[in-house]
Structures are given as structure tokens and as C-alpha cells.
Amino acid sequence: MRRLAARDRFAPELRAWLVGKGVSEQVADAVLDHLRRRRFVDDDRAAEGVVRAASGKRAKGRERLRADLLRRGADADTADRALGGRTDEEELQTALGCLEARRFGPGDRAKAARFLAGRGFEEETIRRAIEERFGSEEDADAWT
């Protein structure tokens, strides 16, 4: 119960932890069934928490969030449901917020693009965020 008190966990995550502590697989499955019935374990709620936590200064793109959800034990459908409400425009605003938080200078287009790629933003979102933040590529060439 202490593991659940800190944050929501995915059922496969808890199952692996229980088995790792020496609990038999049958007992681990019975415990998880009990916790699910009592709504202590809910994969959809855990996925929403991961998505919510990846905002602000720690924002991540959809690709990175999906990979994190799958790595932690969410199935593909759960990950898609958690990320389904995030529109392209919201994704762009999230990327712009990341750029503002880091204060990239006018000559840091490539560095900013690499930063966003590392955060898991899609190529089109990166291109749009860089253009909006730094202006178009043609504008940058005019000043050199």
C-alpha cells in the first residue's frame, strides 16, 4: 500500500515488484485483482497521472510520453486513450512553453530543435515551434 500512496502505479509494474519480492505469481495476480476491484489500481488513472506530470518545465512530447507509458506497463490502448485528448495545437503550445522555459537565444535554432527532439516532440511540431519562436529560416538567413 505504501507503493500506491506515493503515486498511481500500473498493474504490470506492481505485479513485477511483487514477484521480485518473492510473492508467487498466483498470489500477485490475486492481490492485483483485489486492488483493482477496490479501485486502488487503475491503469487509466495512472496513465493520466503520467501525462499530467509531464507538463510545465518537465513537458514531454506525445512520442516520449507514449514510450514512457509503455515502458512502465501501460498497454497500447491505455496509452492512446491517455494521449488522445492532446491536440496538435496543444502539443505546439507545450513545445513553445519548453522553449520559453529554457531561454534559447536567436542563434540557438539547432540547439532548440535538438532539445525538443530529445523531449519526444514530433518533427512537424518541432518545425512549427522553431518557426514561431525564431521566425522562418529565410528570416534568419537575411540577417547573416
pLDDT 10s digits, 85-96? 777 788 888 888
Per-residue cell: 81:
486513450
Q: Is residue 25 part of a domain?
A: no
Mean pLDDT score of the chain, rounded to an integer? Answer: 83
- The tens digit of pLDDT for each residue in 69-80 reads 999 888 889 888
pTM of the model: 0.70
SS (H, E, C) 93-123: HHHHHHHHHHCCCCCCHHHHHHHHHHCCCCH
Q: How many domains does one find in the chain? A: 1
**Residue 94, in any domain of the structure:** yes
Question: Is 73 inside a domain boundary?
Answer: no
The average pLDDT across 56-76 equals 85
50 three-state secondary structure: helix
d(CA 111, CA 134): 12
Q: How confident is the model at residue 139 (pLDDT cuts 50, 70, 90)?
A: low
Long-range contacts of 50-58 (CB under 8 A, 24+ apart): 50/74, 50/82, 51/82, 51/83, 51/86, 55/94, 56/97, 56/101, 57/98, 57/101
135 Cβ contact partners less than 8 Å away, ≥ 6 residues apart: none
Quick check: is 53 in a domain? no
Write out the residue range of the structural domain in which residue 132 sits.
Answer: 88-144
| Inside any domain, residue 129 | yes
From residue 111, alpha-carbon distances to 1, 69, 117 in Å are: 43, 27, 10
Of residues 102 and 118, more confidence is placed in 118
